[in-house]
Amino acid sequence: MRLAQNRFEVLITLDRGLAFQQNLANLKIAVLVVRAKTNQMIDVLPHVAECLVALDTIKPGEIRHVGG
């Protein structure tokens, strides 16, 4: 995460446990967790619009969840 914060503004992941594994409060990167049934494209695609909205407002150090 420390390396990623120097190159990216947001990490998009399907890993629901990331928030419990990393301390993001002092990092310059935001995390967007997509809650999809599986990591198959058919299950992830319905959440793309919600991801785009979240990407406009998410702040560094923030963890935001989208999807069901």
The pLDDT of residue 60 is above 80: yes
Q: What is the pLDDT of residues 23-34, one digit of tens each?
A: 766 788 999 999
Long-range contacts: 6-10, Cβ < 8 Å, 24+? Answer: 9/60, 10/55, 10/58
> What average pLDDT does range 46-55 have in this prediction?
97
What does the alpha-carbon distance between residue 44 and residue 34 come to, in Å, rounded to a whole number? 8
The pLDDT of residue 2 is above 90: no
pLDDT of residue 16: 86
What is the value of pTM for the model shown?
Answer: 0.86
Q: Where are the domains of the chain?
A: 2-67
The pLDDT of residue 20 is above 90: no
What does the alpha-carbon distance between residue 22 and residue 59 come to, in Å, rounded to a whole number? 16
At residue 44 the predicted structure's pLDDT band, cuts being 50, 70 and 90, is very high
